[in-house]
Chain A
Amino acid sequence: MWGWWRFGKWTVLIMFLHIIAILIFTKGFLLTRTELPHSSHCSDLSQSPCHSSPSSSSCWTKPAVDRLIIIVLDALRFDFVAPSSFFEEKQPWMDKLKVLQRMASENPSSAKIFKAIADPPTTSLQRLKGLTTGALPTFIDVGNSFGAPAIVEDNFISQLIQNGKRVVMMGDDTWTQLFPNHFNKSYPYPSFNVKDLNTVDNGCIEHLLPSLYQQDWDVLIAHFLGVDHAGHIHGVDSTLMIEKLEQYNAVLEKVIKELQNQSGPGKLHENSLLLVMGDHGQTLNGDHGGGSPEEVETSIFAMSFKDLPSLPSEFDSSSCEVDLSFPHSFNICWRLLGGIEIFFLLGCCCVPLLITVEKEKEKSLNTLTLEKTLTPSKNICISSIPQVDFAVTVSSLLGVPFPFGSIGRVNPELYALAVCTWNLDDDKTWNNQDQTKLEEWLQNYANVLCINSWQVKRYIDVYSASSVIGFSSEDLFRISDLYSKADENWSYTKNLSSYKNGSSNTSLPVLKRQIVAYSNFLSYVAELARSKWTEFNLKMMGTGIGIMLLSLYCHTLAIKKLNKSYGVSLLSSRDSGISFGLMLTFFMVLIRAGSLLSNSYILKEGKAANFLLATTGIMTLRYSFMKNKMLIEVSAAIFLLLTFIFRIAIEVGLFKQAATSQFMSSSSSWMLGISISQSLWTYMAEIMPILALIVLGYFLYKSISSCYWGIPKYVIMGTILCYFLVALHWISESNILDLAHFLKGFGKNCIPRTVYAITLVQLSLLAIVPMFCKEETSNCRGSLFVKMMSILSACSSTIIILQGKQGALVALGSLLAGYCMMRLQGIEQHTVSGTAGISILDPLPVLQWSLLAVCLLFASGHWCAFDGLRYGAAFVGFDEFILIPQAILLTIDTFGFSHILSVFGLPLFVAFPSSFNQTEHKSLFPIKLFWIFMVYGLITAITATATILCVTIQRRHLMVWGLFAPKFVFDVVGLILTDLLIFVASIYYFNGLEDRIGNAELRRLW
């Protein structure tokens, strides 16, 4: 053990450094928010200080709208909707949705265009989640939504269902993924074919207009995808995009016309609200996902079809008064928020448009600021609304409880539009009647805000009580301070309002102050939540990277030390210059590290790794030609052939990935071209894995035939038994041979569990037995080889059964590849080594081995994303969900070939009982083994460090959450696992080695 410590302290140190670095970096990078399973209920309101609504039928707020039509136009840029006069320059894609602009300018009291600010990541799924839950998106929503994207948090749609509303959905099938059982009727259309501009839209149009006449729904959602797809394929400035927008204009025109026709008293849409909105924007190239203004700015158009009494004309004109002395500028004025007159001055909070655009994001944080920009030509006033406000505002309009985790605020203007269309913008001409109306409205709104604040406060309290990473106590203190202040006022305001006939002169300012207090509280919470959940902590990330680099330094230091002791004890005058292999390795690692900077290379990482692997393969082939070794040339050629086969497997995996990934359009159509008769194909697919298992078993049997040592023989026999069981398992699953009834007595879980049990027994045998009985074998290499074979075989049976049928093929492939590499390594030993037959330390085979490991990960049908995990593997041998064993099974399945077998297989390069020479110094043997472990660890660590660096550089990238972050998680987990496995493997292999070599000799070396 002491001898091991001389080597092993480095692994411990490096593992320690890695864990620290990764923990610190992750804390700064991965924004985590715990998903709470709670949901709001009608009865909860009794705990709040607010008025419950007077009528018993309603829930939290008095329903203001009976029916709601939500038309989502995916990737709707703000400038698609807003009039072109808002922008410096008119572009061809502007002013195409004319009907919305016309409505907004003709009836400003019932129709309005809002600029909606989304929170990145601006991808449809995340946005729909954010829109319906009213919460902020984060990378890991820790909860039980493991795998399936269905929303488990409380949300607007499930509140609708709970409160007896009927929801109809049509269009993008993302909705049905998110809400699998929520809709009364749904007409989903597949959304992943980006090149298809029309299927979803035509389906929507087909169902939308007839649905408007039906009575069987309360909320209708129609999600159009054409604009998003047109943007992805052709960009914003394209004729297809303009055609799409014109098509939408026609559809919306029809919809609005129908709704208007039906809006009379007693008719279907007497009290309906139409919302036309985007889920996010897009850049001019049609990309979205990131946080640039173009992507986060989208639009909401709201129109109410209440039969409204027409308002006096002075209300209209005064709101958007135009100063004609500045012909091309907008009437601009600017008021600070928080003033008493806020509601009378909403229309005047204007700043120069450019500044508005630039500061838009900051301002949307201070959601109290309601800017308006006025056009000289049409009286369209546009205010902005953060998307988190959507869920709570719509909930309050429909009178359902607000989603539990929402942190939004009921938006006054959107609320006003439907509740009681009150022209808020006038501060000069209002008579008594209007004032009473206004007061009533304010009273109502203050009550809604009270409920809103109470709900947000409750969420913050529950969240900080139940979450590990909560808010700091200072923040919590400030929150409760703001809340209690607002609440204090409220008890006074409530009392005041109970005297209905009290002087309105006093009640108005009090109400306004109350509203401001609540708004302050809500905006503070939203701001805090954004900083906690959506902002990176650069200091921590930097520290993490620093420690990571330090660990790399330690790693190289350790390797240098090993090199030195190797070279010193060699006492040969071997030139210590930089060999070609070292340079090539360095170059390859550099390329691989650099490739992680680009999302495309991460997406096709398997292929990139295979490319590098094949390149090294070609180099070795060339090298073997140089050496004129016939046998070795053959193994190099076989190796290349294997990389080709792995590549095919990787492409099959990519094909699978493309079906689910949102970033990849499905390519590689060549596989569909294979038209071998179906039955033969399935027959092959059934037979091949079993054949592979038989071949594997035969190899194992051969490998122990010359072995006299006790334990490994039993272990390998056990593995062969396992293979037999696995083959039996597959046969019983398949329907070629009708064996199922033979095995009915067993039950289908029996075989996998037996295999797990055998594996455990084998591993414990291997771990425990060498401690007690020491075998004396003179041949170091031979015994190491046997040790390696026994542990690999012990691990392999479990991995193969978890991986399913492909597992056997991949295992066979990796075995062959390993054998070829060993032979190729042999030439180095044989030829380059000098007098004593000592192999030089060449990192190239280790690099090849690590590239092969990466290829194996992808070839076995995995990829670095959470949908790349094979969840089915967790249920091999288990029927019901038990977290810990299944997490272990999933880890073994994911990292089985690429990490567990690879690390345990590393002694391959020294352990092969080569016929070449036995003369090598025994004492050098552990050093070389250790050196290989260290180099392998270093390559993994460099790749992981590169991933961390690239993730940091690309933290504002479009696909940071979709691609870079999952890759980061995979790499980091892989790195720690590799460290751990190297630690375990070095103990396993060194235990016994040192006895043979003798501690004294080892001590001499150091």
Chain B
Amino acid sequence: MKEELEKNPQSTISSSQVFFIHVCCGLALAAGFWVAHHVYSLNLVFDPTKTLCLIWAIEFPVVILLFSCCRQKPEKCSYFTAIARGLLGLPVGALLNALGALALGAPVGLQYLEKTVNWSLLMSSFTFVPTACVYGSSWTDWHRIFACTKPNGPLEFMLCLPAHGAVIGAWFGAWPMPLDWERPWQDWPICVSYGAMAGYVVGMVGSFGLALKMHAGRKQLKAE
């Protein structure tokens, strides 16, 4: 699989590959939950710090390994360089996510620090790490995908949609927080994490759908 992926640069990434990567990412997320629940008997509601830590620890290697296969210009950049880029991207993206969350109203304080750190690491592996693996520090690509939101090709959609989905999902996930229902999941960052994960999954589904559609379109073109 790895070799197969490596051979296919951005333009020709097939819908089955998109599907494979997304399913792996989704399964990693589910596996994180499963391990937390069954092995460590943890729960996002009762111990968000450890659970989030476990989830991102399982999610982000999968993301790095998979997306590094789709790196741009594989001839210039080895698989391990891409992995290193992803590892570097993780804390940078976490910092950006944390700053965004703080600007939007995440609680400040030492007792929230761990939760915020773990949450932003998870967010980073949803949003920042994949693109860091694929494009590294190429400003124009980042600019195109995230500032202008003008991705082209299934690969860029694969980077763009889940990331935007996660951020928008987290934004919506913050809405129940001020309500006075006094449920334990209303605390920071539980519902925000749920929102982010839901948005991420929706984004993945959307990107897969688009990949299918584009593939069909290309086939048609070829047929014509």
Contacts and interface: CB of A to CB of B under 8 A. Distances in A.
A21 B105 CA distance: 36
B108 interface: yes
Interface string B105-129: 1011111100000000000000000
Interface stretch (B14-22, B51-59, B172-180, B213-221): B172-180
A647 B105 contact: yes
A644 to B, nearest CB: 5
A618 B100 CA distance: 8
Nearest to B167: A618
Interface in B113-163: 143, 146-148
A231 B22 CA distance: 48
A163 B21 CA distance: 86
Contact of B148 (A600, A610, A626, A670): A626
A607 interface: yes
Contact of A599 (B103, B143, B171, B180): B180
Contacts of A614: 103-105
Interface in B89-111: 100, 102-105, 107-111
B100 A648 contact: no
Contacts of B147: 622, 625-626
B178 A628 contact: no
A669 B112 CA distance: 11
B178 A600 contact: yes
A604 B103 CA distance: 16
A670 B110 contact: yes
Contacts of A622: 146-147
**Looking at chain B's contact residues, is the secondary structure mostly helix, strand, loop, or mixed?**
helix
Contacts of A608: 178
A199 to B, nearest CB: 21
A628 B140 CA distance: 11
A4 to B, nearest CB: 41
Nearest to B108: A670
Contacts of A334: none
A607 B105 contact: yes
Given A622-B147, A626-B148, A670-B108, A643 B180 contact: no
B103 A640 contact: yes
A54 interface: no
A615 B179 contact: no
A673 B105 contact: no
A448 interface: no
Contacts of B102: 644
B143 A628 contact: yes
Q: How large is the interface on B (under 10, 10 to 19, 20 to 34, 35 or more residues)?
A: 20 to 34
B33 to A, nearest CB: 28
A611 B178 CA distance: 11
B178 A601 contact: yes
Contacts of A647: 103, 105
Q: Is the interface of A mostly helix, strand, loop or mixed?
A: helix
Interface string A609-636: 0110011011000100110100000000
A598 interface: yes
A73 interface: no
Interface in B54-88: none
A643 B148 contact: no
Contacts of A541: none
A6 B179 CA distance: 46
A380 interface: no
Measured as residues with beta carbon below 8 angstroms from the partner, the interface class of chain A is: 20 to 34
Nearest to A602: B178
A603 B108 CA distance: 20
Interface string A651-675: 0000000000001000011100100
A618 B103 contact: yes
B178 A615 contact: no
Contacts of A599: 180
B210 to A, nearest CB: 21
A610 B104 CA distance: 7
A614 B106 CA distance: 12
Contacts of B100: 618
Interface in B149-204: 171, 174, 178-180
Contacts of A611: 104-105, 174
Contacts of B105: 607, 610-611, 614, 647
Contact of B103 (A601, A644, A663): A644
Contacts of B174: 611
Given A603-B178, A611-B174, A617 B111 contact: no
Contacts of A668: 107
B109 A617 contact: no
B107 A600 contact: no
A611 B173 CA distance: 13
B21 to A, nearest CB: 26
Contacts of B180: 599-600, 603, 663
Contacts of B107: 668, 670
Contact of A673 (B104, B109, B148, B171): B109
A60 B106 CA distance: 63
Most buried by A among B104, B107, B179: B104
| Residue from A599, A600, A610, A668 whose CB has the most chain B CB atoms within 10 Å | A600
Contacts of A610: 105
A673 B107 CA distance: 13
Given A600-B179, A603-B178, A615 B143 contact: no
A487 B148 CA distance: 85
A236 to B, nearest CB: 15
Contact of A615 (B109, B110, B171): B171
Contacts of A604: 178
A603 B107 CA distance: 17
A320 B174 CA distance: 59
A643 B103 contact: yes
A670 B178 contact: no
A607 B109 CA distance: 17
A711 B108 CA distance: 47
A593 to B, nearest CB: 15
A972 to B, nearest CB: 24
Given A607-B178, A625-B143, A625-B147, A615 B112 contact: no
A670 B143 CA distance: 37
A603 to B, nearest CB: 7
Nearest to A624: B147
Interface in A424-442: none
Contacts of B108: 648, 670
Contacts of A644: 102-103
A599 B179 CA distance: 8
Nearest to A672: B109
Contacts of A618: 100, 103-104
A670 B104 contact: no
Contacts of A670: 107-112
The 3 A-B pairs of least Cβ separation, nearest first, read A670-B109, A625-B147, A626-B147
Interface of A: 598-601, 603-604, 607-608, 610-611, 614-615, 617-618, 622, 625-626, 628, 640-641, 643-644, 647-648, 663, 668-670, 673
5 contacts: A604-B178, A611-B104, A611-B105, A625-B146, A668-B107
Given A644-B103, A670-B109, A670-B110, 11 more contacts: A600-B178, A601-B178, A610-B105, A614-B104, A626-B147, A647-B105, A668-B107, A669-B109, A670-B112, A673-B109, A673-B111
Interface of B: 100, 102-105, 107-112, 143, 146-148, 171, 174, 178-180
